[in-house]
Chains A and B, each alone.
Chain A
Amino acid sequence: MPWTSVPIASVVNLDHPAHYLTWGWLSISVPNLLVILLMIAVFVLAVLLPFPKDRDGS
């Protein structure tokens, strides 16, 4: 294993097929669900977080 991939591999083992969550007809992989949840979080933060003001403070 190249040394550059050791830190990532030590946190999350990605060397296997993704886990799937199933509710009836709906089936989604855990990585895809995480990405969607992350996008929703970014969207909410983009709406709520204040935008930096100009350098002159106006």
Chain B
Amino acid sequence: MTATLPATGAPETPEGGPESRMWTARLRRAWVSKLPPDKLLPDRQPAYVASWIYVFGVLTIAAFLVVLASGLVLAFTGPAWYHTSSLGHFTNSTHFWSVQLFFVFMVIHLWGKFWMAAWRGRRWLTWLTGGLCFLASLATAFTGYLIQTNFDSQWISFEAKDGLNAVGIGAFFNVANLGQTLLIHACLLPLVVGVITVWHVLLVRRRGVVPPMEAVPPHGAVPVAVPAAVATSGEPTVTSEESGS
């Protein structure tokens, strides 16, 4: 189905011309007003972003991509391959160690954001989605340990079932059910973690990277935007967006 242009045939304009009421046009206008392209894909950052503590978010995403790629190979080849061949062992280990790095980077990212109170400036939803991503990642890692198809996973599942039964969810989530756990780990939870991660990154783009506490301008001061490409030192400054105003 296609939209009918307004009677004038003129395209919609932000200056007051006829605007389409199609849901696609309204969605586009809402998206562009909240997240214009220069905020979605910026080429400049405030000076305070030039610090190693700001790289751990993207390191977490990089590790997550390695986890997804190696997990995809494991899913297509199966335990008969990754338990018996050298390349299978290597791929299995790549999946395991990229998960370890994923959590190391994520926890350091969490520590950094906690100590700079990253929920300031109307960023509470960014902080919340980060926390949700951490919890979903824990569930994904747990189900991953359950489907190793070795004695380790057998031990973990039979130790965990008592705890899960004790809190009343054993009837819905049976950790000794390999098929159920495999589908949850390979199909459901990666999607959940991925969607929350995209949501989290979009929120970071919309609200901007949180500034250091001392960079918040005093009341009434005029914020100054400084491109990272030309200002990687000196007094920290903030943009009007970073200040949460």
Contacts and interface: CB of A to CB of B under 8 A. Distances in A.
Interface of A: 2, 35, 38-39, 42-43, 45-47, 49, 51, 53-54, 58
B232 A54 contact: yes
A35 B51 CA distance: 23
B230 A46 contact: no
B107 A58 contact: no
Contacts of B229: 54, 58
B198 interface: no
B111 interface: yes
A49 B104 contact: no
Interface residues of B, number: 18
Contacts of A35: 100, 104
B75 interface: no
B11 to A, nearest CB: 41
Given A53-B233, A58-B230, A46 B104 contact: no
- Scoring A39, A46, A49 by chain B CB atoms within 10 A of each residue's CB, the highest score goes to A46
21 contacts: A2-B86, A39-B104, A42-B104, A42-B108, A43-B108, A43-B112, A46-B51, A46-B53, A46-B112, A47-B52, A47-B112, A49-B52, A51-B50, A51-B51, A51-B52, A51-B232, A53-B50, A53-B233, A54-B232, A58-B230, A58-B232
Q: Which DSSP category, helix, strand, loop or mixed, fits chain A's interface?
A: helix
Contacts, number: 40
A39 B112 CA distance: 12
B56 interface: yes
Contacts of A45: 52
B56 A46 contact: yes
A45 B40 CA distance: 30
Instruction: Please classify the interface of chain B as helix (H, G, I), strand (E, B), loop, or mixed, using the class held by over half of its residues.
Output: helix
Contacts of B66: none
Nearest to B232: A53
B93 to A, nearest CB: 11
Contacts of B136: none
A37 B229 CA distance: 34
B91 to A, nearest CB: 15
B231 interface: yes
A47 B230 contact: no
Contacts of A47: 51-53, 112
A45 B108 CA distance: 11
Interface string B197-221: 0000000000000000000000000
B165 to A, nearest CB: 24
Nearest to A58: B230
Contacts of B53: 43, 46-47
Nearest to B100: A35
Interface in B135-157: none
Contacts of B108: 39, 42-43, 46
